A and B are shown apart, each in its own frame.
Chain A
Amino acid sequence: MLRKSLALAALGLALGLSWAAGPAFAASTQEEPKDVHWSFEGPFGKFDKEQVQRGYKVYREVCSACHSMDLMYYRNLGQKGGPFFDPKYQNPNENPVVKSLAHDIQVKDIDQDTGDVISRPATPADKFLAPFPNEPAARASNGGALPPDLSVITRAREGGPAYIYSLLTGFKGPPSDMSLPAGKYYDPYFPGDLTSSMKPGMAGHKPPVGGAIGMPPPLADGKVTFDDGKPSTVNEEAYDVVAFLEWAAEPKAEERKQFGLGAMIYLLIFSGLLYASYKKLWKNIEH
């Protein structure tokens, strides 16, 4: 799908504006995502468990300061196909690693005797702790921008995992003919229209490709210490956290592919049998 001028035009029509009177739409631009690949791609792709574990650590220590993951529970980390799944603990609520990961986090609860709001260590049945209690609070702490929920982020953006990776690793200093408002950062992979961000007198210049994002560059070399000793570069952090986010977007993806492979082989054989049956049956009928 092209992402050039807005299909707002369609809305305009729906609102009763005619084409002729419609405003001219400025073009939104962005760089094509980088060419990156993961082990989970394709019909046979599987997640690299260690990578997803590292990715969780990046999310936990960096992203989760601003971004919620509303659809995720700590138990998901230990379920079948999850990064901390242990065949000894089929029930993820029993998994000691998951329990201790959850235990490190304090969640709010209501004391059943007094009705007071209390803090208690999370259990595997708890949702991932959200950094802000509500949307206004999230905006207020982020200069008016809302950090999107990351539960299904790799599915919710055109370009998927490669786009998220490119965005995370693509931050650049703004070109000299451009001036960005405070709290905005230039990223050529972020869709946007920078026409109005050109410095005074530079209005004639072609604006750079990309957009201004409200998120400061989140990753840095050495920002996260990986437990398995993997060197912590920006690229590695981004690569791993995207793998984690892709897993979180559809924790049952591996189950889906596995089931699918069996089903498709079965269907192929079934089709062959039906074809033979059909040919046999129609052998003596001219048609």
Chain B
Amino acid sequence: MSGHSTYEPKSGLETWLDSRLPILRFANDTIVTFPTPKNLNYWWTFGAILALMLGIQIVTGIVLAMHYIPHVDMAFNSVQRIKRDVNYGWLIQGMHANGASMFFLAVYVHMFRNLYYGSYKAPREVLWLLGCVIYLLMIGTAFFGYVLPWGQMSFHGAVVITNLIGALPVVGHAITTWLWGGFAVDDPTLNRFFSLHYLLPFMIAGVVGLHIWALHVPGNNNPVGIDVRSPQDSVPFHPYYTVKDGFAISVFLILYGVFVFWLPDALGDAANYIKANPLVTPQHIVPEWYLLPFYAILRALPNKLMGVIAMFGAIATIFVLPWLDTSKVRSMRYRPTIRLYFFIFVLDCIVLGFCGAHSPDDLVIPGVVGPQFLDANLNSFVWLSRIAALYYFAYFWVITPLMGLTETPLPVPETISSPVLSHPAAMPAGAAASPEKRG
């Protein structure tokens, strides 16, 4: 899409088509000859994995919509009918339900990889922003989708999340009522959520198109974080990365298959096997695992509005990341100090996830009754999520800008080829010490 095209029509028909709709040229330049840095490691395969997962979710979703009934009295049974009576319905429903988790797993790896190698930095800010939009749309899609089976967790999850909007001053109540189409989550809500759940994936697909377009202008970042300077630095996308991505996809599918075939309910909640009952709330309202960190941030604050602001702030923060990072070096391979903070940040997100899964009053270390501090026990998950949430924000707003200014990076190689082609002894210390495997 950028630079000069290397496509040469091979037949009269191709020449004819090329001068009218250069779609073959486009495909060729995008996925065949596209010059790709030759040092991409396995962390870079998650882009292709994500593209596949989006495709799987859309295809299985369209099939499920042929059998699903968006009505409060029939939705739960219609999902069960898919699993019991529809030919291979168990497979398609299992792929779709577990596919959402796999999709998020892949997107998180993709995002952490991005943070580590500084891929969001100039000239890829728009690429990063589009990725953030995709992530936001994914959260919306996942939320709407989780409501559709109309189990207890579906219903009460929808109640809790829509009630968040009620935190907005003045307009909150009106918006919630508008969103529900009634006085509570009910049949109109289910119907519109179904419609939106069908719509959003196609919006995601559209933004993914832009995302790939924005990728192909500057080209891929890479583990050393420096630009491609010569033809020796890159290989054509096909067959080198199609096959490498294919291998990674296949391994990923094995993990996916473990869940679909052998642990279909492991990532779900038992309460969602109970038909929605507006009169009884399940004992533990928790979102799916992939949204737990944000749920923990929501509950970390003692005030509803503040909690909602913090949760949305946590998502909004990632949008501005390219302008918070002051470092001139992209890859953390050459930034030993912030690298430590980065690994703490990854851990921090996992801790937040744990906090989200637990009741705020639960003790972190069982049996140890810590001292009371302000409004809660210091050994409770409330305090743990507060500390973790604080680190989450500090990482982006304090550590990232500050480190870029104060940290002395290790010497960065001059070209992509140099660290890999020279003798190991001559390699820059940072490259030799880099902890991750280079594929």
Contact = CB atoms under 8 A, between A and B. Distances in A.
Q: Say if the two chains contact directly (CB < 8 Å).
A: yes
Interface in A117-154: 148-149, 151-152
Interface stretch (A14-22, A32-40, A218-226, A236-244): A14-22
Interface residues of B, number: 67
Nearest to B307: A13
A278 B84 contact: no
Contacts, number: 156
Interface residues of A, number: 59
Given A11-B281, A252-B90, A274 B80 contact: no
Contacts of B260: 260
B303 interface: yes
A2 B359 CA distance: 8
B160 A2 contact: no
A275 interface: yes
Interface stretch (B52-60, B124-132, B246-254, B327-335): B246-254
B17 interface: no
A178 to B, nearest CB: 22
A267 B254 contact: yes
A260 B262 contact: yes
B359 A19 contact: no
Contacts of A18: 302-304
A49 B304 CA distance: 54
Nearest to B257: A264
7 nearest CB pairs, A to B: A260-B261, A156-B273, A274-B247, A7-B284, A271-B250, A14-B163, A155-B273
Contact of B80 (A25, A43, A152): A152
A110 B424 CA distance: 85
Contacts of A76: 84
Given A4-B362, A8-B281, A71 B257 contact: no
A20 B273 contact: no
A15 B264 CA distance: 33
A256 B92 CA distance: 11
Contact of B250 (A4, A71, A267, A281): A267
A230 interface: no
A48 to B, nearest CB: 20
Contacts of A9: 299, 359-361
B360 A156 contact: no
A128 to B, nearest CB: 13
Interface string B145-183: 000000000001001100110110000000000000000
Nearest to A191: B283
B94 to A, nearest CB: 7
Contacts of B264: 256
